[in-house]
Every structure is written in structure tokens, then in C-alpha cells.
Amino acid sequence: MFETSTIEIDRKKYASNLKFLRKTVASKSELCLVIKGNGYGHGARQIMEVAQDLGESTFAVFNAAEALDVLSVLNKDSRLIIMGEIDFPQLEWAMENNVEFFVHNLTLLQKVLETAPKSPFKAKVHLEVETGMNRLGIDPRDFHFLANLLNEFQHKIEVMGVCTHLAGAESITNFVRVKKQLKEFDRAVQGLRNLGIESQQIHAACSAGAIRLKKTRYDMVRIGILQYGFWPSQETFIEYIMDRQNKVSPLQRIITWKSRVMSLKAVPMGQYVGYGTSFLAEADKVLATVPVGYADGFSRSLSNQGRVLVRGKLAPVAGIVNMNAISVDITDIPGVEIGDEVVLIGTQEDQAISVSSFSDYSSQLNYELLTRLPKDIPRIIV
């Protein structure tokens, strides 16, 4: 292979995660799989293809560029929703390609109304309302003006949903705020109905909201991190298993990140390794060079802290993480050869390096670490 590392996605584990989600948070609601951020680093196109093979048909991305990237693998009967940014010139493209999108301010709505009459296709919109996140969303005080516009152009606009976004349902410290949001949301939905605005779906739940608060599930749940086998927070996981006899997570992480040994180097005691003087060999050492660095998503903050797996053993990073390479200490791992598999995230024999431990060393959130994995690393379904 030409690549210096690959990411493997476990189809069987992913199928298990989807089964769990259908049974728990989506037993009475439509399951919308959020694949923004290149499928949280797992590969949006690959995740969409596998999910469709497993019977899923509703997906969400953040912007029009992400929608364009996955459109070619979207099945004819599947749905694709843009939850965030769509620029005015992209509106006609969205209509022509049956791509649904959130309308989160009146300026965008007015641009939709200017564009829709020029297109033979209807604009399929989800009205995002402000409930307390204070980021995106239409102010309920503007509902009368909104209703007048929609009623005038109802032949060109199809209201697919009314929605909102929760401000931190992964932490109990935010529950007062989140529950207030839900009350505001219910009031907003009813307010729109009173003005003659009906939608096909009502939705508010993210992963944390869906797993922790049944009230958030409505007609559709927007599930991101859970589908990939990660919990939104440790608190969310502990709360879920606390009252259950089986304390094992029902979710399985589907990602494995692999590279290989590029070179071996014997380093005498007293010699420094790599740039600078951060690693001094206090005894004779044997180091392996791995062709992955911070340009590949292996954070520089893992210098002298990170770990990888070689021959089923943990090998610590020795010295500074370079742009394209790391050195790892394999002194106590016998038999290592050039070309041997190196696991950066995942399992090798009976040892594992989780994204959580990886992110602890690098002071990155799981979300941040995963989405920083470059798109040019091949994603392979296994």
C-alpha cells in the first residue's frame, strides 16, 4: 500500500450498535444518523454505505459541502439533511437533489423564498427554533412573520420538520437548562401549529439527550457519537449502566487505526532521540520509527506520553512527535521487525488502546481527536 496508515471500520460491531439504538432510543422514533465531521472521523461515505446496507435511510451532515461529498452514495429512497450552513447559491442545488436543510434565521428563509419559484422542485426545510442554545434558531417572537411568509409560498416549500438543539445534555449540571429548553420547544411547536404551520416531524434529541431523556425523542432522534460506539460523556455511560445488572457497555467501538514499523534503531545510553533534548536514553535502547505524526492526527502533545501497540505490547513514544513520524521504545518487546503492524487506536492480541486513553494523553476530547483524523487516511470496512 502507498498509505502510511489505515483506519478500519468494523461492520459487525457497527451493526450491533445500530441494533442497540433501534431498540432503545429509536424504538418509536425515526433514527437519523449524524455523519458530520467526516462521520466523526470514521469516514462519512463509508459509514453511509454500511448503514444503508443495514437498513438505515436517514442521514444528517453539517453543511452543503459535506452533503455534496456523500450524495453520490446516497440511495434513492434515503434522506439527507443539512443541519447547519448552506450558502444562498447552494439552495437551488439542494432543491434539485432532494436535500433537506435547516432554516435557522429569517434571512435564510427569505433567500429560500426568492430561490424556490425559480426551481421546479420544492424546498424541503426543517425550521430550527431558538430555545436557549443561543447559537442558531428562529426567535419565537418572529413566528407571525415566519407564518405569513410560509403560507404565501406553501406551494414551493415543504416543512419537513420543526427542531431545536440541546445545550449540553451529556451533563446533569445542564439539566435545568435543557428541561427549560424542552418546555420552550413544546411551546414553540404549538405556537407554529396555532399559526397554521404543520410539520412532518418534530425533533430535538442528540445522542446524549436521546439516551438520557425520553422526553427529547419526539418523532426523530439525531444520533452522532453513539453509533460509533462512544458515549457522549463518562457520566452518560455510568448513568446508563448504574441500574443494570450487566455493567458492560452495550456499545462497541468500531474504529481501529493502524500503521507499521518503518525502521529500527539501536540507541546507546546517553544519546538523545529526535529533535531537541526531551528524550535521553538512560540505558541502551531499541527504537522503532512509525510513519505517522501530527500531520496524520497523532497529536504533538503525545510527545513522550503516548503509547502504541507492537506485537501485542505497549510501546511508549520516545521524544517529540514529528510532523510525519514518531519513535517508540521497543526495547522490551522482542522480535520486532520492519513492516510489523503498529496499532495506534484499537486492539492487538489482548491489549487495547482506546480513543479515551489516547485523548487523555493528548488533552483532546474524543470528538476532537476523531474528527482530526485526516480524510486522506483510507477507511476500510472489515
Q: What are phi and psi of 158, to 5 degrees?
A: -115, 120
Specify whether the backbone of 180 is left (phi greater than 0), alpha (psi in -120 to 50) or beta: alpha
Query: In terms of Cα–Cα distance, which of 59, 43, 58 is closest to 8?
Result: 43
Question: Phi and psi dihedrals of 51, rounded to 5?
Answer: -60, -40
Helical pair 44-53 and 11-23, crossing angle rounded to 10 deg: 70
Q: Pick the closest to residue 366 from 355, 377, 352 (CA basis).
A: 355
Q: Does 135 belong to an annotated binding site?
A: yes
Those residues whose C-beta lies under 8 Å from the C-beta of residue 320, and which sit 6 or more positions away, are: 274, 275, 276, 278, 279, 300, 303, 304
Query: If you write DSSP's letter for every residue of 88-115 in order, what string do you get?
Result: GGGHHHHHHTT-EEEE-SHHHHHHHHHH
Active-site residue identified among 14, 36, 228, 294? 36
User: Is 311 a known ligand-binding residue?
Assistant: no
* Known catalytic residue at 40: no
The yes-or-no answer on residue 272 being catalytic is: no
Active site (catalytic) residues: 36, 275
Binding-site residues from annotation for substrate: 135, 323
Binding-site residues from annotation: 135, 323
